[in-house]
Amino acid sequence: MPKDLSDEFKRHARFLIDTFSRELGVTLRYDAESVEYLDGYIARNRAGIRKKTDGRYGGVVDTIGSFLGECIIANYGGQWKQSETGAWGVYFDDKNAVFPFVKVEKAFGPEGEFDSIASFYSLSKLVRDGKLGPDGNA
């Protein structure tokens, strides 16, 4: 049985909220507006973060991915669970899940300017409802 890391993800999300408040004077909440703000933040700072971390931005991915997942859970339900391949995601049921860490990692990758965590957040509701994904028709 895989270790339950949901408390760790909550701590990462809280760290992001506290850091943005302290360092930037920005109040993040578990809501769509905060995800949109973070999407813009990534777009504005992607190159600088890549350079500063020398392409090893795993900690940034973990922190933002945790926050994104907690936003999804707070608004659409679901729970953290590890897939059979080892990837952590927010599962709405046995067949419908989203993977925030994968999405955030893509946002910092070479084609990152085409990846939006805000649209991912919005689409998560369709996954939850079974309208997008393995059982959906889209």
Q: Tokens 């809501």 correspond to what residue?
A: 31
Residue 137 lies in a domain: no
Domain hosting residue 95, numbered range:
6-128
Residue 83's CATH number:
1.20.120.1090
20 found inside a domain: yes
Count of domains forming the chain: 1
> CA 67, CA 37: separation in Å to the nearest integer?
12
pTM of the model: 0.90
Indicate whether 133 belongs to any domain. no
Q: Rounded to an integer, what distance in angstroms lies between the CA atom of residue 46 and that of residue 130?
A: 32
**135 in any annotated domain:** no
Q: By three-state DSSP, how is residue 97 classified?
A: strand
For the segment 3-23, what is each residue's pLDDT rounded down to a tens digit? Answer: 788 999 999 999 999 999 999
pLDDT digit string (tens) for 66-124?
999 999 999 999 999 999 999 999 999 988 999 999 999 988 877 767 789 999 999 99
Q: What is the rounded CA–CA span in Å between residue 40 and residue 69?
A: 17
1, part of any domain: no
